[in-house]
Amino acid sequence: MSRVCQLTGTRANNGMSVSHSHIRTKKLQQANLQQRRLWWEEENKWINIRVTTRALKTIQKKGLGKYAKTLGVDLNKL
C-alpha cells in the first residue's frame, strides 16, 4: 500500500537535508498518515480509512461526509 492519504491525496515531498557545513543531501518528507476507523453519519456505518492528521482535524471540524463531498471523494469506494 502506498503512503497516500485516501481523502486528500497527500503524498511524500522531496526535500533537502542541510548540514552545518551546508552539505545538501536528498531526503523524503513523508505525510503523517494514520489508519482510522471513522463513523460516517450519512450512511450509518464505520469506514476504515488511511488519512493524514491534518485531514483528521478537518474531519472533526466539518464531519466526514461533508469534507469528502467538498474534495469530490466517493466514500462508498473506500
Taking the C-alpha atoms of residue 8 and residue 24, their distance in angstroms, rounded to an integer, is 30
Grid coordinates of 22: 551546508
Q: Which fold has domain 13-71?
A: Ribosomal Protein L24e; Chain: T; (2.30.170)
What is the band of 72 on the pLDDT scale with cuts at 50, 70, 90?
Answer: very high
Beta bridge partners of 35: 50
**Strand runs (DSSP E) across 1-78, as ranges?**
13-18, 24-29, 33-40, 45-52
Grid coordinates of 78: 473506500
* pLDDT tens digits along 40-70: 999 999 999 999 999 999 999 999 999 999 9
pLDDT attached to residue 78: 84
